[in-house]
Amino acid sequence: MRLIFLGAPGAGKGTQAARLARRLRVPHISTGDMLRETVREDTPLARDLRSHLDSGRLVPDDKMNEAVRARLKKPDTDEGFILDGYPRTAAQAQALQENLSEKGRKLDAVLYFNLRQDVAVERLSGRRTCRNCTANYHVKFNPPEKEGVCGRCGGELFQRDDDVHAVIKKRFEEYRQKTVSLVDFYRNAGLLKEIDAAPAPDEIYSRLLTALGHVE
């Protein structure tokens, strides 16, 4: 299956995408991870991306489209993929559509994880990440056995810069300005499947499978 996971920060897209990707045996393509992998390469695109990321600027649509196009050429995407974090704008959605059409491919569905802002803020602001193994915890919903210490590797837990309240609100504003319009774009294309992202992760996953016509 070729899927897009769409939703606001804190909606749990990454968690659900990773879980479903294992079930479907397709790659989970998180654009954040993809960019980090790309910039380690010695290519003109990698050097261009590094210049944007190092300066704190957003990666332009054309460069993001180029990076995704290169990723989708890899053979592990032949049987499908889950895109998480892309597209984020109408221009990116159009570029993806053209890219897939050139290869005779098409999307199977776009999963929209719908979540109220106040719930997302609570989730994100309480998140803590291990500096060593990147495991995620939550001060309320998934606390570590020992405060500030990763139960997996013993590393230090910290709060990411983009998980503080002021930054979360800024991320939501950007999401509303650029990404919300994609909900209507894909709904009009008959691809959108809306998932309530408020319940516990297992319940969300069950609803996700139902939406895709799968069973546990």
| Residues marked as catalytic | 13, 88, 127, 160, 171
How many angstroms separate the CA atoms of 9 and 13, rounded? 8
CB neighbour class for 166 (10 Å; exposed up to 12, middle 13-18, buried from 19): exposed
- Would you tell me how many other CB atoms lie within 10 Å of the CB of residue 180? 13
How many angstroms separate the CA atoms of 206 and 110, rounded? 16
Helix (H) or strand (E) holding 88: none
In the structure encoding, which two tokens stand for residue 157, read together? 């837990």
Q: Which of 50, 51, 88 is CA-nearest to residue 68? A: 88
